[in-house]
Chains A and B, each alone.
Chain A
Amino acid sequence: AQKITQTQPGMFVQEKEAVTLDCTYDTSDQSYGLFWYKQPSSGEMIFLIYQGSYDEQNATEGRYSLNFQKARKSANLVISASQLGDSAMYFCAMREGTKLTFGTGTRLTIIP
């Protein structure tokens, strides 16, 4: 079974609109964490946001917020006021212990 599922292989969004990237996960651990990374065409992995399983409030980092619904095992990334520079691959990842398992990614394209 997939540990991390990203069901949107690609998304096109108009500039300045908000966008939600979906991520669901599967784990039997009580302590775990969810990350979102951005990978532009150059290849580097850029950390966006982190949510720990015991964090009661949804994480926010600037224009990024994580909609964490623990009972549904979902950790969707919300990008507000999208910009052209947001066009990239986005990966959701789950931490179990020290290991990260990545989803298959969503390619986000921002349309001017």
Chain B
Amino acid sequence: EAQVTQNPRYLITVTGKKLTVTCSQNMNHEYMSWYRQDPGLGLRQIYYSMNVEVTDKGDVPEGYKVSRKEKRNFPLILESPSPNQTSLYFCASSTRTGYEQYFGPGTRLTVT
């Protein structure tokens, strides 16, 4: 089954404690991306990757890091989480840049 998986699905953490949200896709897609969803703001892009070892900033990259060492995986790293990073996070992938993306189920992060 074609899918994008994210782990964990729910996470409560404290300010400053480094965390990683994993994302994996099994469709051999070149393009992967991370978004955050906040009330009234829709989905905003954090980082994206057009292929292995190629990553770039989206609209709201501050406080986040990513890496793309393998085609299937695109982890999101919060080195020092802060309460304003409390949000719902989605990973997505597609064959072409941005077109018809497949989304993961989401990770709800709470930073206290």
Physical interaction between A and B: no
